[in-house]
Amino acid sequence: MKNTIITFLAILPLLGACTKKSNDILIGEFGSLTGNDATFGLSTNKGLRMAFDEINAAGGINGKKIKLITIDDQGKSEEAASAVTRLITQDNVVAIIGEVASGRSIAAAPIAQKHQIPMVTHASTNPEVTKKGDFIFRTCFIDPFQGFVGAKFSIQTLKAKKAAILRDVKSDYSVGLADVFATEFKNMGGEIIADLSFQGGDLDFKAQLTQIRSKNPDVIFIPGYYTEVGLMAKQARELGIKVPLVGGDGWDSARLHEIGKEAINGSYYSNHYTTESTDPTVVEFIKKFKEKFNETPDSMAALSYDTAKILAAAIGRTKELTPKNIRDELAKTTDFPGVTGKITINADRNAVKSAVIVQVQGPERKYISTVSP
Amino acid sequence: MQDFVQHIINGISLGSIYALIALGYTMVYGIMKMINFAHADVYMVGAFTAYYVAKWTGLESSPGVSTLLLLLVSAMIICSVLGLLIERLAYRPLRKSPKLNVLITAIGVSLFLEFSGQVIFGADPKVFPEVMNQFVIANFGGLELKSSDVTVLGVSLIAMVILNFIIQKTKIGRAMRAVSSNASVASMLGVNTDRVISFTFIVGSSLAAIGSILVGMKYPKIDPLMGMMIGLKAFVAAVLGGIGSIPGAVAGALIMGLSEEMVVGYLSSTYRDALAFGILIVILIFKPTGLFGKYSVEKV
């Protein structure tokens, strides 16, 4: 009996390797469909499915249909790494899309690079991600830019002189944004009066906020994710802190307001796109998304939709369908008219595009201004 | 100074929540000499019960004392039933087995609840409904005393007073103390140990249910893994105070709440958990049974 089990375990990997060859173009996706920031993974998955469904309905790419293989990484870095390994070695995908969180993209990127499979991240804004190799791309702006946008907006529009920072020390994304914000804010003549930390998953932030309150900042910069930010806003208002909170695209979720309630109203964050846009591409995208999923697309859905379209365009330009050719064509993307703006991939394989600042007003996001690089 | 007082208020309010959960650990340990790791997940089920009851009855939009009472009662009932089931199905068959088997079973039950929770409720965080309206009760020169903090403290205190009354003054309480000091002698003298143990689980689970609603009111984000960290902290609080001792659990929880708040307030949040567990190690070195624990002499 024992021997049977051992034999079975030994041949198990071989069974997995026998995947059927198909005529479809296989594209892999890894994302947090479950876990603490599950809404990100669910939104990006919807954006991708919508884009590929549209392409397939229009006859696919050069007669071939796209097949999306999605693996849930549960919001964990180690799962992200194994998901990408599986996509490459077992499912034989030609390209990979993912992840939202920079930490998980950084865990996955070296694997894609090692196997020479192009990986495009739709929303990882940490600069380190694309430094992992020449097969790693992104279609969003990077942290230095969002930190810069936050600092510029605080100084110029909010007329802030003193800022406090609350950073999530467990998240590469948060630390990246906070560092750049601190440098830029000081360069522009402001003063950082407190730079405190918390850890993603915490519930209580009153100790940090009490400390901030005694220093009277004009603005508090919180580059965190929506769950913590919602709780923080609530606790800040409970302690009587009335200054605006400013953050990055990690805030962008309908849950932000559900958790923070009226406490989060009036705060600002930088984002990839706004639903208030009058650009026909955006209006059309929002209309189709609402028809398909019966909800308003958040920026994660918009970004992943653009990523899918950019990747499909690159695949369409290849003469022969190999991962290397897809990589070369992706690098040539210039002025792609996406939902999240005109996208050009630069020499560092990062996207060059503008950011918008929106203000939270209940479930609505009011467009305030556009900040260009 | 104002900051210091604010840190104290925050710490007591956090500590009183730890206390409610720590009581569940300590009671079960006191009676059965086992650590019920599933306790923190019963707490999670309590939060989700309240969430769904509020949703189905449409009470989400009508906060008030009656809503709070209804949610408390429904969560306490569901959690008691769950606690009772866990004891009946998982622990009772192992009553005569070695301690380690029961401990491992407890971890198994805990994982079972956490991951069934992910399947049934979904893994993304839910937003806990607003149970009570918030208002400022008193304002001392910038220090605001909020109704939510007072409610949390008040409900915790009432629960602890009732618990103390049950244990010290009632017949079942006397039976619990008897089983706690020596289960086999107690059963020889006519105490129905199974019944006492079931009752302990009901009380412990009800306290977890109360704790879950108070936490939901304070931090309106609930998810199936919410019990993990708070359960660990409450467990440490129970050990710190001397596991098996009820005043010990309350004292331990307050020490944990206050020290966490002070560390984050004056040092850095990175050291928070390190300090919490550091205190535990120091106390266990100098007083291995915890602050209020009793030495039990092993008789051969």
> Judged by CB atoms within 8 Å, which residues 66-125 of A form the interface with B?
74
Asked whether A310 and A340 are in contact (CB, 8 A), the reply is no
B121 found inside a domain: yes
Q: What's the rounded mean pLDDT across residues A211-216?
A: 88
Q: What is the pLDDT of residue A20?
A: 47
CA distances from A240 to A209, A213, A214, A265 (A): 10, 8, 11, 15
Q: Which residue has the tokens 């609603």?
A: B213
What's the pLDDT band for B299 if we cut at 50, 70, 90?
low
Q: What is the pLDDT of residue A30?
A: 93
**Contact A31/B at CB under 8 A:** no
Q: At residue A164, what are phi and psi to the nearest 5 degrees? A: -110, 145
Cross-chain residue pair B261–A203, CB shorter than 8 Å:
no
**Contact A254/B at CB under 8 A:** no
Torsion angle, alpha carbons of B14, B18, B19, B24, to 10: 160
What's the pLDDT band for B146 if we cut at 50, 70, 90?
confident
CA distance A62 to A328: 18
Considering the domain architecture, whether residues A160 and A182 belong to the same structural domain is answered as yes
What's the pLDDT band for B180 if we cut at 50, 70, 90?
confident
Considering the domain architecture, whether residues A310 and A332 belong to the same structural domain is answered as yes
CA distance B137 to B203: 32
Residue with the bigger pLDDT between A51 and A8: it is A51
What's the pLDDT band for A280 if we cut at 50, 70, 90?
confident
- Contact list in B for residue A43 (CB cut-off 8 A) is none
Q: What is the pLDDT of residue A53?
A: 93
Mutation for B interface: A168, A205, A206, A222, most B CBs within 10 A: A206
A363 found inside a domain: no
What's the pLDDT band for B288 if we cut at 50, 70, 90?
confident
B1 found inside a domain: no
A204 found inside a domain: yes
Minimum Cα–Cα distance from A197: chain B residue:
B269
Could you read off the pLDDT of B51-80 as tens digits, one per residue?
999 888 877 667 777 888 888 999 999 999
Contacts of A212 (CB under 8 A, 6+ apart): A164, A166, A194, A196, A220, A241
Which of A69-73, A258-262, A343-347, B88-92 shows the lowest mean pLDDT across its residues? A258-262
Give strand pairing partners of A137.
Answer: A120
B203 found inside a domain: yes
Could you read off the pLDDT of A54-67 as tens digits, one per residue?
999 998 888 889 99
Contacts of B70 (CB under 8 A, 6+ apart): B53, B57, B59
pLDDT at B143 over 80: no
CA distance A7 to B6: 64
Cα-Cα-Cα-Cα dihedral sign, residues B179, B181, B187, B191: negative
Long-range pairs of A123-126 with CB within 8 A, sequence gap ≥ 24: A123/A40, A123/A44, A123/A99, A123/A249, A123/A272, A123/A299, A123/A300, A123/A303, A123/A304, A124/A99, A124/A100, A124/A173, A125/A173, A125/A176, A125/A177, A125/A248, A125/A249, A126/A102, A126/A172, A126/A173, A126/A176
What domain count does chain B have? 1
CA distance B297 to B51: 46
Asked whether B91 and B105 are in contact (CB, 8 A), the reply is yes
Shortest distance, CA B42 to any CA of chain A (angstroms): 19
Which of A122-126, B83-87, B139-143, B291-295 shows the lowest mean pLDDT across its residues? B139-143
Coil/strand/helix, residue B143: strand
B300 found inside a domain: no
Report chain A's mean pLDDT, rounded to a whole number. Answer: 87
Number of CB pairs, chain A paired with chain B, less than 8 A apart = 86
**Contact A321/B at CB under 8 A:** no
Nearest Cβ partner for B10 among A169, A207, A230? A207
Percentage of residues of chain A with pLDDT beyond 70: 94
- Domain final position from A254, A271, A288: A271
The answer, yes or no, to whether ipTM is higher than 0.95 is: no
What domain count does chain A have? 2
Which of A5-19, A230-244, B7-21 shows the lowest mean pLDDT across its residues? A5-19
What's the pLDDT band for A19 if we cut at 50, 70, 90?
very low
Q: What is the pLDDT of residue A45?
A: 94
E strands present in B230-299: none
> Judged by CB atoms within 8 Å, which residues 256-275 of B form the interface with A?
260-266, 268-270
Cα-Cα-Cα-Cα dihedral sign, residues A247, A354, A99, A66: positive
Cross-chain residue pair A206–B10, CB shorter than 8 Å:
yes
- Contact list in B for residue A208 (CB cut-off 8 A) is 264-265, 269
**Contact B137/A at CB under 8 A:** no
Cross-chain residue pair A36–B125, CB shorter than 8 Å:
yes
A134 found inside a domain: yes
For the ranges A15-24, A81-90, B185-194, the one whose mean pLDDT is highest: A81-90
B4 found inside a domain: no
Minimum Cα–Cα distance from B7: chain A residue:
A207
Query: Alpha-carbon Rg of chain A, whole angstroms?
Result: 21
Minimum Cα–Cα distance from A232: chain B residue:
B219
Considering the domain architecture, whether residues A77 and A175 belong to the same structural domain is answered as no
B79 found inside a domain: yes
What's the pLDDT band for A8 if we cut at 50, 70, 90?
low
CATH number for the domain that contains residue A187: 3.40.50.2300
CA distance A101 to A302: 16
Could you read off the pLDDT of A161-200 as tens digits, one per residue?
999 999 998 888 899 899 999 999 999 999 999 999 898 8
**Contact B144/A at CB under 8 A:** yes
Minimum Cα–Cα distance from A166: chain B residue:
B269
| Strand B143-146, strand A355-361: pairing | unpaired
Residue with the bigger pLDDT between B190 and A14: it is B190
CA distance A139 to A351: 5
Q: What's the rounded mean pLDDT across residues B275-296?
A: 79
Contacts of A42 (CB under 8 A, 6+ apart): A33, B124
Pair of tokens at residue A252: 């962008």
Q: What is the pLDDT of residue A18?
A: 46
Considering the domain architecture, whether residues A30 and A137 belong to the same structural domain is answered as yes
Residue with the bigger pLDDT between B253 and B287: it is B253
Could you read off the pLDDT of A220-266 as tens digits, one per residue?
999 988 888 999 998 898 888 889 999 998 898 888 888 888 888 88
Q: What is the pLDDT of residue B140?
A: 67
- Domain final position from A214, A245, A271: A271
Residue type, A49: R
**Contact A255/B at CB under 8 A:** yes
C-alpha atoms less than 13 angstroms from C-alpha of A227 in its C-beta half-sphere:
25
- Contact list in B for residue A39 (CB cut-off 8 A) is 124
Report chain B's mean pLDDT, rounded to a whole number. Answer: 84
- A98 closest CA partner among A336, A86, A179, A334: A86
B44 found inside a domain: yes
B184 found inside a domain: yes
What's the pLDDT band for B295 if we cut at 50, 70, 90?
low
Q: What is the pLDDT of residue A12?
A: 55
* Structural domain boundaries, residue B188: 18-236
For the ranges A164-168, B188-192, B211-215, the one whose mean pLDDT is highest: A164-168
Contacts of A367 (CB under 8 A, 6+ apart): A274, A276, A277, A356, A357, A358
Coil/strand/helix, residue A169: coil
- Domain final position from A250, A271, A292: A271
pLDDT at B20 over 80: yes
A155 found inside a domain: yes
A361 found inside a domain: no
pLDDT at B268 over 80: no
E strands present in chain B: 126-127, 136-140, 143-146, 221-222
Write down the pTM of the prediction. Answer: 0.74
Cross-chain residue pair B7–A38, CB shorter than 8 Å:
no
Q: What is the pLDDT of residue A10?
A: 58
* Structural domain boundaries, residue A155: 144-271
pLDDT at B298 over 60: no
Cross-chain residue pair A259–B127, CB shorter than 8 Å:
yes
Mutation for A interface: B124, B230, B261, most A CBs within 10 A: B124
- Contact list in B for residue A239 (CB cut-off 8 A) is 6, 144
pLDDT at B216 over 50: yes
